[in-house]
Each structure stands twice: as structure tokens, then as C-alpha cells.
Amino acid sequence: MIKATAFYSHDENKHFDVKYYLDKHVPFVRKLLGNACKKVEVEKGICSATPGSTPAYAIIGCLYFNSIEDFQNSFGANANEIVSDVANFTNINPTLQISEIIL
């Protein structure tokens, strides 16, 4: 299983429209990726290790695929459309990581 993770760092001077992200961006991405995307998870940071502290990431979005080829074929073909929608919900430049789930 492959996981593509977008990390949106927490920054007081940046904005992130969670409602747009959940209601519009995620369904838009799911539609573009089709059956290649097996699962989506969205995490909202609440704190770091110390209660009440600022989280490192405001939002973490995860997309799951059966294989790296499934990710590359579906995401790669739609990357421009997906990336162009980011400005509609945030001015944070996300960090993208592709991982293989091993446990």
C-alpha cells in the first residue's frame, strides 16, 4: 500500500479554509483519481507533544493507493488540476511525501 501525504505546516500568518478543503477539494481530488485512490484521511493538528502547544502541522491529508504505479498514473495525470486548486483554500505551500506502508 502506498500513501501520499500532504503536510500543511502551522503558521499564524497563513490561512487554511478547512471547510473548502473538506467540502470541495477532497471530493474534487477523489473524483479525479477515481478508483485508484482507495482511501482518504484528513488530520487536523491540535497540539504537539505538550498539551496546549502549537501543532507542527495545521492539516495533514493522506491518499492511499495499492501501488506506486496507481499513484503515478492517477495523480500524475491530474497533478496540475489538483495543485491549481490549492490556492482556493490555503496560502501554505504543502510538503508532499510518498510512503510505502510496511506495517
Domain, as residue range, for 54? 2-100
- 7 band by pLDDT with thresholds 50, 70 and 90: very high
Q: What is the phi-psi region of residue 28: left when phi exceeds 0, alpha when psi lies from -120 to 50, beta otherwise? A: alpha
16-72 pLDDT, tens digit per residue, is 999 999 999 999 999 999 999 999 999 999 999 999 999 999 999 999 999 999 999
Contact present, 4 and 74 (Cβ < 8 Å): no
Q: What CATH number is associated with residue 53?
A: 3.30.70.100
Q: Could you give the number of structural domains in the chain? A: 1
Say what the pLDDT of residue 3 is.
98
- 76 band by pLDDT with thresholds 50, 70 and 90: very high
